[in-house]
Structure 1
Amino acid sequence: MSSTAIGEAAEATTPPPAPRWRRLVTNTSFQVLVAAIAAAIFGIVAPEAAATLQPVAKAFIALIQMLIAPIVFLVMVTGIVAAGGMKTVGRIAVRALIYFEVVTTIGMLIGLAAVNLLPPGLGVAPPAHASGELSSYVSGGAKDNSFGAFLLKMVPDNAVNAFASGSIIQVLIFAVIFAIALLRLPDTISRPIVDGCAKLSEIFFRMIRMIMLLAPIGTFGAVAATVGKYGPETLTALMKLVGVSALALAIFVVVILGGVCAMAGFSLWRLIKVLRKELAVVLGTSSSEAVLPQLMERLEQVGCRRSVVGLVVPTGFSFNLDGVAVVIPICVVFIGQVYGIPLTFGDQLTLFLVFLVLSKGTAGISGSAFITLANTVAATSLVPIAGLALVLSVDRFLSLIRALTNVLGNAVATVVIARWEPGGLDRELAARTIGLSRPKVVQGETQ
């Protein structure tokens, strides 16, 4: 058979590309958007029925959370072994923690500036009494907020319990110790274990992709329950607080994260386009944890090495919550404004220092952002605890913009740290996916 005939036969057997409408309908981002719109309408039309759908959203997020601890462990172990030694791991960790502290500090300063320049609490009536839902947060945050207690929470007293409770920090510590032990064993013993971890991680990521098919259902339950429970008027309640928080977060993303991306030589907009499916799920569920495993996989596809992704992303979800760093100070000062309690520069400096510690102590806990807020209010005693009821009424909407910023902030951090790390970033792949600037070549040499 001639080459022409073979080509014609191949063309005849190759299926035509799917129509654009079919690709759109099967796109997860489009499905999540349609589900959110339909859920909002359903919540308005049948609020009582919609309010009962909260378990649907919680079940979807629980399915994701079920796999987070093992995925973090497996990716961390294989990443540390791939890095080649603890010297490399230590260098990545130190760079990551320095980056996290600098960026979250800038986020806090932006939040404080926004709430002082555009005081959202003026003209808002104080709540008559705290919400019944408030007691669980306040009591949960009133136990022991000392730095020593925080350190004790980091160290797992039971390896199985670290996985069962989903404590990311404890799983990270266990994974680091496990990986160090592997590095000290002969290759004949360690290699099969590392290969097994790599194969297991593939299985868990496949499970995540299967669960993500349910994302539109989870989104429908979350949005319908919110609108049904609080009513459409919630969309306009306390819009000053939500608006100032959204403005501060937008400035943080555009100016700070955008500036960091520009200095690192890649495009923030291109990175957002790459992460659009993950961000759509966050938009629907208001949970950053719902996309942690997918984010790790996506950043590897962007060009970040597993040794960097496995260490930076899980650590970032505990220490680099940019959205929380911006919004929590706004909420505390907002409560003071509502009650007519002006916070001086010294008060806000105290708030700043207390938050730096407490924001780490509740990382990885469900509803950790509001728990952090309750802890901060209780520890500083600057504003009445009853004022938390006001924030709780709109926390669903605040959590949405916080989660989006958290995910995007950790994605930027991972790419930046991978760029710093020798061999941490596949530059050719990153140039194609996120517009990483290529190094200049002079006389055949890379500068």
Structure 2
Amino acid sequence: MTSVPTSQRKQKRKGWDKHTWLYVSVIIAVLLGAVVGLVVPDFAVALEPLGTAFVALIKMMIAPIIFCTIVVGVGSIAQAATVGKIGGLALGYFMVMSTIALAIGLVVGNIIHPGEGLDMSGSSYETAGEASSTSDFILGIIPTTFFSPLTGDNVLQVLFVALLTGFALQALGKRGKPIMRAVKYGQMLVFRVLSMILWLAPIGAFGAIAAVVGKTGIAAIWSLGLLMVAFYITCIIFVVVILGALLYAVTRVNVFSLMKYLGREYLLIVGTSSSESALPRLIAKMEHLGVSKPVVGITVPTGYSFNLDGTAIYLTMASLFIATGMGQPMSIGEQIGLLVFMIIASKGAAGVTGAGLATLAAGLQAYRPDLVNGVGVIVGIDRFMSEGRALTNFSGNAIATLLIGTWTKQVDRERVKQVLSGELPFDESMLDSDHEDPELEEADAEADTATSPAVHDSSREPVTTR
């Protein structure tokens, strides 16, 4: 009778580590939440604060995560021209793809005519305030103080300050290294805190799913089923056909292989309905895939504010749905005007639950105020559509990172093949605080040497040369 080597036993157990159990728990929580929502709807609605609290914890970490990531990404590049090349290319790509996504939403909306047969004239929805003009939107990127973006919820202000900080660290040269080291330690701390928060994902997913099913019920879901199905099919076609074809043409990477590699992140997004919850994992996985740290550090955080393909599709389809349902369908000219306006409005939406709904309300308030009350009908199924938005946004940003890395020649193609084939699996410990940056380890070693007692030198063996 032969015994199984210890190394093999550890390798078998590795497939069900603590991280795997977490994602399995999310699946179970989602299923239980749906059952509770159907069986005891009143009790399920009372569980909504669980989901709200979890998303609030995630949103709490977004500003420091984006700040540290961009500062490290920009500050680690030797020449500012490289940052401009990566950032300019990324922003140009994001604008083109967002416009295409908005246009696709309009095309599909005109084909299926969602909202026909509904009487939504009595619907109501309270807006948070008057929508901003384009000039107000641009001026709003400039924060009140240098540190205020870190305590607020405006992601664009965080991006602005982080870019300024990164360029300043470049200009400081060697004198900026201690500051850069401090930011890297801060990044490790922030990622560690977020990894602790993610252990509450099953509880948050259970509360969110139970509440939305308890509120809407099966009948309400079926009444708006056409819009939901059309939206999801449109998102799938956009990711698999349009983005998938572009990805293969540029990088020769199969989109399904990339999606398989990001499987755990998709599961986390489905459970939390937030692409932000997978932000640190996407950064770590794209770097592991072979894309350079500067490209990842600039493209991914910027994409979370500027590359919201799923949100773009949602905005146009939901707008047409509301207009038709309220008996005030839009003309082609009005739809084109809406598209132009939403190109700007969608840039202010973060990838968290509820942002798409708020952007839809703000966009209609500014462009078609007579339709804003129809947003109240969308609220019932927004939670379900939010998952589609988050998954599409996340996929678009992952694909964009590979594309930008390829165009700027800052991706290891051979490593991409090895990782996607499973030869180089992702190490989950990379997201733990134990996984340090090599530069930080070297700096710590130098610091220990500099501060160590002189008596230690006597224990060293003499060095001889031959």
Aligned residue runs from structure 1 range 86-97, under 5 A:
86-97=80-91
> Would you say the 8 A contact 2:156–2:348 is kept in 1?
no
CA contact (8 A) 1:127 1:389 kept: no
Contact preservation (8 Å) 1:29, 1:276: no
One-letter identity of the residue aligned with 2:298: L
* Mapping 1:87-126, distance limit 5 Å: 87-126=81-120
Residue identity in the other structure for 2:303:
G
Which range moved further: 399-408 or 118-127? 118-127
Q: CA deviation at 1:416?
A: 0.8
**How far off its partner does 1:330 sit?**
0.9
Distance 1:366 1:404, change over 3 A: closer
Is 1:359 paired with 2:346? yes
1:306 to 278, 293, 299: 293
| Correspondence for 1:244 among 213, 230, 233 | 230
2:43 aligns with: 49
Say which is worse superposed, 388-397 or 323-332, in terms of deviation: 388-397
Structure 2 residue 367 is the aligned partner of structure 1 residue 373: no
Q: Match of 1:191? A: 177
Residues 161, 371 of structure 1: CA spacing in aligned structure 2 closer, same or farther, 3 A cutoff? same
C-alpha change, 1:190 and 1:24, in structure 2 (3 Å) is closer
Q: 1:379 to 1:186 in 2, by over 3 A?
A: closer
Q: Please show how residues 134-283 of structure 1 align to structure 2 within 5 Å.
A: 134-135=125-126, 138-140=127-129, 142-143=130-131, 145-187=132-174, 189-264=175-250, 265-283=252-270
Q: Which runs of 5+ in 2 are unaligned?
A: 423-466
Please say if residues 324 and 369 of structure 1, whose CA atoms lie closer than 8 Å, have aligned partners that are also in contact: yes
Q: Is the 8 A contact 2:351 2:393 kept in 1?
A: no
Query: Partners in 2 of 1:148 and 1:20 — Cα distance?
Result: 53
1:291 paired to 2:278: yes
Does structure 2 conserve the Cα–Cα contact (< 8 Å) formed by 1:279 and 1:404? yes
- Give the letter aligned to residue 405 of structure 1: T
Q: Distance in 1 between matches of 2:168 and 2:6?
A: 56
| SS at 1:343 equivalent | coil
Amino acid at match of 1:251: I
User: Do the aligned residues in 2 keep the contact of 1:336 with 1:383 (CA within 8 Å)?
Assistant: no
How far the C-alpha of 1:14 sits from its partner, in A, is 7.0
Distance (whole Å) between structure 1 residues aligned to residue 414 and residue 299 of structure 2: 21
The answer (yes or no) to whether the contact 1:28–1:216 under 8 Å persists in 2 is: yes
Structure 2 distance, partners of 1:298, 1:21, is 18
Aligned partner letter, 1:197: V
The alpha carbon displacement at 1:25 in A equals 9.6
| Aligned-pair Cα RMSD in Å | 2.5
Deviation at 1:362, TM superposition (A): 4.4
Q: Secondary structure at the match of 1:352?
A: helix
| CA displacement at 1:174 relative to structure 2 | 1.0
Aligned-pair distance for 1:412? 0.8
1:167–1:364 CA contact under 8 A, matched in 2: no
**Quick one: which amino acid aligns to residue 292 of structure 1?**
L
Secondary structure of the 2:277 match is helix
Between 276-285 and 320-329, the greater mean CA deviation after superposition: 276-285
Name the % identity. 35
User: Which digits, 9 at most, give the CA deviation of each residue in 1:143-162, with x for residues without a partner?
Assistant: 4x211101111111123220
Partner AA of 1:43 in structure 2: G
Contact 2:361 2:372 in 1 (8 A): yes
The SS at the match of 1:403 is helix
User: Do the aligned partners of residues 59 and 129 (structure 1) sit closer, same or farther apart at CA in structure 2, a change above 3 Å counting?
Assistant: closer
TM-score (norm 1): 0.87
Aligned match of 1:441: none
After superposition, the Cα gap between the structure-2 partners of 1:9 and 1:58, relative to the gap in structure 1 and judged at 3 Å, is same
> Match for residue 464 of structure 2?
none
Counterpart-to-counterpart distance in 2, 1:296 and 1:41: 34
In the aligned structure 2, how far is the partner of 1:371 from the partner of 1:13? 52
Q: For 2:6 and 2:227, locate their aligned partners in 1 and report how far apart those are by CA, in whole Å.
A: 60
Counterpart contact for 1:96–1:312, Cα < 8 Å: yes
Report the AA paired with residue 397 of structure 2: N
SS of residue matched to 2:76 = helix
* TM-aligned CA deviation for residue 11 of structure 1: 4.1
Alignment of 1:319-330 (within 5 A): 319-330=306-317
Instruction: Give structure 1 stretches of 5+ with no counterpart.
Output: 1-7, 437-447
With normalisation by structure 2, the TM-score equals 0.84
Which secondary structure does the structure 2 equivalent of 1:122 belong to? Answer: coil
1:397 paired to 2:416: no
- 2:212 and 2:380 in contact (8 A); partners too: no
